[in-house]
Chain A
Amino acid sequence: MIAFYNHFAFEFKTGLRNSNNLMMNYLFPLGFYAMMGLVMTRIFPGFDQVLIPAMVVFATMASSLLGLPGPQVELREAGVFRSYKINGVPAISILIIPVLTTIFHTLIVSSIIALSARPLFGGVAPLHIVPFILITLLAAFNFSAISALIGVISTNSRATVLWSQLIFLPSMLIGGMMVPISMLPEGIQPLTALLPSSHAMQAFLGLAYGQPTSFNTTVSIAVLAISLLLAFGLAIHLFNWDTKNKTRRGHPLMALLVLIPYIVSTFLV
């Protein structure tokens, strides 16, 4: 328990000490939130309805997808995981503790957004608080698990950027955060079900805001939960202490299995 506490405390402080992590955990999401709050609520009528969930999903993606995999790869390549291994640090701790601390940072930023959006930018508060909190947690765990998987399969920092942006950029464009899915071209709409951000946004709108949704929210919740479990399972299975040793238990392309629930959901939503 002391080991877990020390490890958690160290990783949490890393999220504040490391300039890149500080940027992705706090400065980037809060800066973007301030900009969206100031600009989008004025030029896009109705954006106040989605300001909080959209910015919570954005903050979650920024801290996890952009902040989590890079340092994991750097530590592994620097031999830190080898050092951890010989000192008895279990692989599960190496994977799960950074995920938990990232979620912790995300929850702090999400709280700031949820509490300040209404007084600062006229953002609409959720009707149902408990579903809002649960979906925030589910989305945070989901993105963090996918990010941990990206960190595990990437051979270098450039690869983490590539994989992360493959999710991050489409999410920003067609994930329902900036533009409602219903306003996208009909040919594009089914493809949005391939993105976790779309499911998170639809779950927020349907279950926390009581608004009509483009997706079946039960399916969205199931997709987020199943992909979260798949991503963690695959990250643990494919975890490698040291790229100099061929100890990986499967091919990195196995990570694509995490797409299964999303692909299936395109037929169900």
Chain B
Amino acid sequence: MSDAIVTVNNFRKVYGEVVAVNDISFEVQRGEIFGLLGPNGAGKTSTLEALEGIRSSDGGEMMVMGIDPTREPGKLKNKIGIQLQTSGLPGNMKVGEAMDFFCAYHQVSPRKDLIKRLGLAEKVNTQYEQLSTGQQRRLALSLAVAHNPPLVILDEPTAGLDVNSRTELHGMMEELRSQGVSILLATHDMAEAEKLADRVAILLHGSVVAKGSPRELTATGSSLTKISTRTENSILVKKPGRFPAVTQQLFKEEYSVFYSKDPAASVSAILNYIEKHKDRLIDLRVERPSLEERFLEITTPGGKK
């Protein structure tokens, strides 16, 4: 049985004569991280903002925990936590004030623990405009989750962050998921989506062009799986064979590298070949195409879908 916390059916958004979002549909299940991916102008932010209740809809249906955000946005106040793509805080608001301010409107006690957890304890009296980009993002995330919402919407949460800050935020997102919180994540960062998201939808020109888990998406593309092998006597280098589904073969240092459309068939044949020639396998690596490669394949004009 579906346990969808967010349901979007044929959502449509038009700006003048430009159709920004064209009949898109997706669901976010309870306790999952759902990635909304797409290039600039794909319609990600318009979709998120409609779900947040700050942008109107021009068609279709949206439900967030049984509430239509385009009709009753006020009812979502304590049910969702939102980190906007833009700053969203007055420049002279101090970190501690921001926590007090928003928690009071959510009618919860200020979460000083989150400020400490996200490394902002020493910045509690620093004004927002004096924080670094990473600190601003961390503050925004702490404000988004301070009232323990069951759904958190994050719009490019790690854009412009250093490695440590990204890792910390990723850890926090995974922790939230483990607590049953659903996260709707819009990002340009494919590695981030591949690492964190349970399922993703790829938007292009306002339409969903691919949907599924990162593993499903990378498996369905035409990108080739890379198979790297190294054997004791280098039989694959000295006496190269022909293997099913392999479209390209390279030699790199002591490795033979194959690009295969059907990695299972190719690996099986390669292993048989090694055994037949009485060689011994030292190393075997099978690398699936990344989500980024699949994304580029889908979103690049002329790419196969």
Task: List chain B residues, Cβ under 8 A from A169.
Answer: none
Q: Which of A1-45 contact B (CB under 8 A)?
A: 2-3, 5-7, 10, 13-14, 17-18
Asked whether B116 is an interface residue with its Cβ less than 8 Å from the other chain, the reply is no
Asked whether B54 lies within 8 Å of A245 as measured between CB atoms, the reply is: yes
Which of A3, A10, A89 interacts with B97 by CB under 8 Å?
A10
Task: List chain A residues, Cβ under 8 A from B93.
Answer: 10
With contact pairs A80-B89, A245-B54 given, residues A6 and B100 touching in the complex (Cβ less than 8 Å): yes
Asked whether A79 lies within 8 Å of B104 as measured between CB atoms, the reply is: no
Interface size on B, residues (CB 8 A): 30
Task: List chain B residues, Cβ under 8 A from A88.
Answer: 74, 77-78, 105-106
Closest A residue to B110 using CB positions:
A6
Asked whether B92 lies within 8 Å of A86 as measured between CB atoms, the reply is: no
Asked whether A75 is an interface residue with its Cβ less than 8 Å from the other chain, the reply is yes
Asked whether B84 lies within 8 Å of A2 as measured between CB atoms, the reply is: no
Asked whether B105 lies within 8 Å of A3 as measured between CB atoms, the reply is: yes
Asked whether A87 lies within 8 Å of B87 as measured between CB atoms, the reply is: no
**Shortest Cβ distance from residue B13 to the other chain A in the assembled complex, whole angstroms:** 11
Task: List chain B residues, Cβ under 8 A from A87.
Answer: 77, 82, 102, 105-106, 143
Q: Which of B215-260 contact A (CB under 8 A)?
A: none
Asked whether A232 is an interface residue with its Cβ less than 8 Å from the other chain, the reply is no
Closest B residue to A85 using CB positions:
B54
**Shortest Cβ distance from residue A19 to the other chain B in the assembled complex, whole angstroms:** 10
With contact pairs A2-B104, A3-B104 given, residues A82 and B92 touching in the complex (Cβ less than 8 Å): no
Asked whether A165 is an interface residue with its Cβ less than 8 Å from the other chain, the reply is no
Asked whether A86 lies within 8 Å of B101 as measured between CB atoms, the reply is: no
Closest B residue to A244 using CB positions:
B55
**Shortest Cβ distance from residue B73 to the other chain A in the assembled complex, whole angstroms:** 7
Interface 0/1 of B48-78, CB less than 8 Å to A: 0000111110000000000000000110111
**Shortest Cβ distance from residue A235 to the other chain B in the assembled complex, whole angstroms:** 19
Task: List chain B residues, Cβ under 8 A from A116.
Answer: none
Q: Which of A52-87 contact B (CB under 8 A)?
A: 75, 78-80, 82-83, 85-87
The CA of A88 and the CA of B103, in the complex, are separated in Å by 10
**Shortest Cβ distance from residue A97 to the other chain B in the assembled complex, whole angstroms:** 11
A-B contact count (CB 8 A): 73
The CA of A89 and the CA of B89, in the complex, are separated in Å by 13
The CA of A80 and the CA of B91, in the complex, are separated in Å by 10
The CA of A246 and the CA of B73, in the complex, are separated in Å by 16
Greatest chain A CB density within 10 A among B74, B100, B105, B107 is at B105
**Shortest Cβ distance from residue B150 to the other chain A in the assembled complex, whole angstroms:** 15
With contact pairs A85-B73, A88-B74 given, residues A14 and B92 touching in the complex (Cβ less than 8 Å): yes
The CA of A13 and the CA of B100, in the complex, are separated in Å by 14
Task: List chain A residues, Cβ under 8 A from B82.
Answer: 86-87
**Shortest Cβ distance from residue B23 to the other chain A in the assembled complex, whole angstroms:** 21
Q: Which of B273-292 contact A (CB under 8 A)?
A: none
Closest A residue to B46 using CB positions:
A244
The CA of A246 and the CA of B105, in the complex, are separated in Å by 26
**Shortest Cβ distance from residue A15 to the other chain B in the assembled complex, whole angstroms:** 10
**Shortest Cβ distance from residue B247 to the other chain A in the assembled complex, whole angstroms:** 48
With contact pairs A86-B54, A86-B82, A87-B102 given, residues A14 and B88 touching in the complex (Cβ less than 8 Å): no
Task: List chain B residues, Cβ under 8 A from A89.
Answer: 105
**Shortest Cβ distance from residue A79 to the other chain B in the assembled complex, whole angstroms:** 4
Closest A residue to B80 using CB positions:
A86
Asked whether A241 is an interface residue with its Cβ less than 8 Å from the other chain, the reply is yes
**Shortest Cβ distance from residue B85 to the other chain A in the assembled complex, whole angstroms:** 9
Task: List chain A residues, Cβ under 8 A from B89.
Answer: 80, 83
Asked whether A86 lies within 8 Å of B106 as measured between CB atoms, the reply is: no
Asked whether A7 lies within 8 Å of B88 as measured between CB atoms, the reply is: no
Asked whether B88 lies within 8 Å of A80 as measured between CB atoms, the reply is: yes
The CA of A86 and the CA of B73, in the complex, are separated in Å by 8
Chosen A-B contacts, 17 in total, with CB atoms closer than 8 Å, are A3-B107, A13-B92, A18-B92, A79-B84, A79-B87, A80-B87, A80-B88, A82-B86, A82-B88, A85-B53, A85-B73, A86-B84, A87-B102, A87-B105, A88-B74, A244-B55, A245-B54
Known: A6-B101, A86-B77, A87-B143. 13 other contacts (CB 8 A): A10-B90, A17-B92, A18-B92, A79-B87, A80-B88, A80-B89, A82-B86, A83-B89, A85-B53, A87-B106, A89-B105, A241-B54, A245-B56
Top 6 closest pairs, chain A to chain B, by CB: A83-B88, A88-B77, A3-B104, A79-B86, A2-B104, A6-B104
